[in-house]
Amino acid sequence: MKITVIGAGYVGLVTAACFAELGNHVLCAKKTEKNLENLKKGISPIFEPGLEEILQRNIDENRLHFTTNIKDAFNFSDVIFVCVGTPQSETGEADLSQVEEVSREVAQNMDGYKLIIEKSTVPVNTHNWIEKTIMRYRSDAVDFDVASNPEFLREGSAVMDFMNPDRIVVGVKSEKARSIFEELYKPLTEQGIQIIFVSPASAELIKHASNSFLAMKISYINMIGDLCEKVGVDIKSVAEGIGSDMRIGNQFFDAGIGYGGSCFPKDVKAFIKIGENHGLDFKLLKATEDINFKCRENFLEKIENILWINKNKNIVIWGLAFKANTDDIREAPSMDIIKRLSNKGANLKLYDPQASKNFQKYFPEAESITYFNDKYEAVKQADALIILTDWEEFKEADLKLVKDLMRIPIIIDGRNIYNKEDIKDFEYYGVGRNR
């Protein structure tokens, strides 16, 4: 099939590359020339495992192209995935101006039937606005469908998630649109993956409700973690015990310094606003946000209680990204934590396998902030090692070497990546764990 993808951000790029990988011909349109030449060569502006490989393969095999010409993009195919940004506005609601702009552009450039598919995360009933906008900006009667096909990709495993989803959610109104989706996802449904067909409004709602649920689950286990710490019980064993009930499940049940990233914080806020706009008070989600914020506060308090004075201490941070396997630092807990430690006069030594470059834009190298390319170099003469991201290479680190290199062997682990046996030679503190 031929597919147009509007937007070459995180979602657009993964969607375009993965649909090409499934054998389709894909034209991905972006607004500006920024990164365009690199994209045409298969060079990804974001770090995402496996992405560059499939970009390159599909460009080489002539199935994937990039353009800034929006007219060409709409002419290329009848199936248009809208993957533009829906950032948080000042009020907490999603800013839908880019979605509206694309709707107008579709109206002005349509030359026959089009299926317009929302992939970006949008508030429930946005599809009605897209429909209305297309009809307003198009005087003649045109045949089109608006559908919702939300993405459930996690940064760091987006390609895997696209190719092996738990489910595909599709919101459609017409049989025509439904059969296009059946064709589009055939390579996946043939492997037993299920498409759940619902109305467009349901699909839009499923996306916000799913992300909010996962955020709530994380805050729940962090709440229990607080109690564990007070009563001297290890949250890891408690989470395992609770999560082994299949009805609860142990995924997204790791206590720590809370969730960050470009999705959960924004989507929980937007969902609270959606409730408010319909006269509902989503107290559960407000508590989810509060707990998440408290996680960072508690962790900072913990650091201060353990180290007493931070000033002039060599504090090493392993992990700046909001989660492992990404270079993304948006809403990362590390931002707040490092800001506070820096204000307290700590001598910060920072290491992350991928995210240092992005982090330096906010925290440039200075007398008291040094970036390292090697995690062991960073810990030399350290007064404490703080873990903020659960990268695999930290879990597998040579802790004997770490201990020998540090001045004082203290580990404060914001992601609970170590087991008690691994760190018996350290003064070790986790989150929700007795030391």
Q: Which residues are annotated as a binding site for NAD(+)?
A: 86, 121, 155, 266, 330
Report yes or no: 262 and 276 within 8 Å, Cβ to Cβ: no
Q: Does 285 bind ligand UGA (CB under 6 A)?
A: no
* Percentages of the chain per state (helix, strand, coil), in multiples of 5: 45, 15, 40
Q: Quick one: which segment of 27-35, 188-196, 246-254, 378-386 binds ligand UGA (CB under 6 A)?
A: 246-254
Among 113, 152, 213, 376, binds ligand UGA (CB under 6 A): 152
Among 15, 58, 120, 121, binds ligand UGA (CB under 6 A): 121
Interface with ligand UGA, residue 63, by CB under 6 A: no
CA 400 to mean position of chain CA atoms: 33
Q: Is 261 in the site for ligand UGA (CB under 6 A)?
A: yes
Does position 214 interact with ligand UGA (CB under 6 A)? The reply is: yes
Task: Determine, following the binding rule CB under 6 A, whether residue 263 of this chain makes contact with ligand UGA.
Answer: yes
Report if residue 252 touches ligand UGA, rule: CB under 6 A.
Answer: yes
Helix (H, G, I), strand (E, B) or coil at 320: coil
Within 8 A by CB and 6+ apart from 44, the residues are 13, 38, 51, 52, 55
Q: Whole-number minimum distance, CB 237 to ligand UGA, in Å?
A: 15
Q: Which of 31, 40, 154, 403 binds ligand UGA (CB under 6 A)?
A: 154
Q: Does 81 bind ligand UGA (CB under 6 A)?
A: no
Among 12, 260, 409, 414, binds ligand UGA (CB under 6 A): 260
| Set 18, 83, 263, 295: catalytic member | 263
Contacting range for ligand UGA; rule: CB under 6 A; set: 24-32, 253-261, 371-379, 425-433: 253-261
293 binds ligand UGA (CB under 6 A): no
- What's the token pair of residue 256? 């720590």
211 binds ligand UGA (CB under 6 A): yes
* Residues between 348 and 407 with contacts to ligand UGA, criterion CB under 6 A: none
Can you say whether the dihedral through the CA atoms of 333, 338, 341, 347 is positive or negative? positive
CA 229 – CA 206 distance, rounded (Å): 34
Helix (H) or strand (E) holding 315: strand 314-318
Minimum gap (Å) between residue 98 Cβ and ligand UGA: 16
Residue 88 DSSP SS3: strand
Q: Is 297 helix (H, G, I), strand (E, B) or coil?
A: helix
Q: Of residues 155, 289, 336, 413, which one binds ligand UGA by CB under 6 A?
A: 155
User: Judged by CB under 6 A, does residue 256 bind ligand UGA?
Assistant: yes
State whether the Cα torsion 255-326-154-9 is positive or negative.
positive
- Exactly one of 253, 299, 351, 426 binds ligand UGA (CB under 6 A); that residue is 253
Q: Does 153 bind ligand UGA (CB under 6 A)?
A: yes
Please state, in angstroms and rounded to a whole number, the distance separating the CA atoms of residues 256 and 400.
Answer: 24
263 flagged as catalytic: yes
**Range list of β-strands (E), 108-184:** 114-118, 144-148, 168-171
Considering the complex, state which of residue 154 and residue 403 has its C-beta at the smaller distance from ligand UGA.
Answer: 154
Q: Which is nearer to ligand UGA, 10 or 144 (CB)?
A: 10
Please report, in range form, the residues annotated as the binding site. Answer: 86, 121, 152-155, 207, 252-256, 260, 266, 323, 330
The secondary structure of 207-250, three-state, reads HHHHHHHHHHHHHHHHHHHHHHHHHCCCHHHHHHHHHCCCCCCC
The region of 16-24, 82-90, 195-203, 261-269 touching ligand UGA under the rule CB under 6 A is 261-269
- Residue 328 — φ and ψ, nearest 5°? -80, 130
- Cα 225 to chain centroid distance, Å, stands at 23
Q: CB 424: neighbour CB atoms within 10 A? A: 9
Cα–Cα nearest to 370, from 393, 354, 391, 347: 347
Q: Which is nearer to ligand UGA, 122 or 316 (CB)?
A: 122
Enumerate the known binding-site residues for substrate.
152-155, 207, 252-256, 260, 323
Question: Which residues are near ligand UGA by CB under 6 A?
Answer: 121, 151-155, 211, 214, 218, 252-254, 256, 258-261, 263-264, 322-323
- For the annotated catalytic residues, the residue numbers are 263
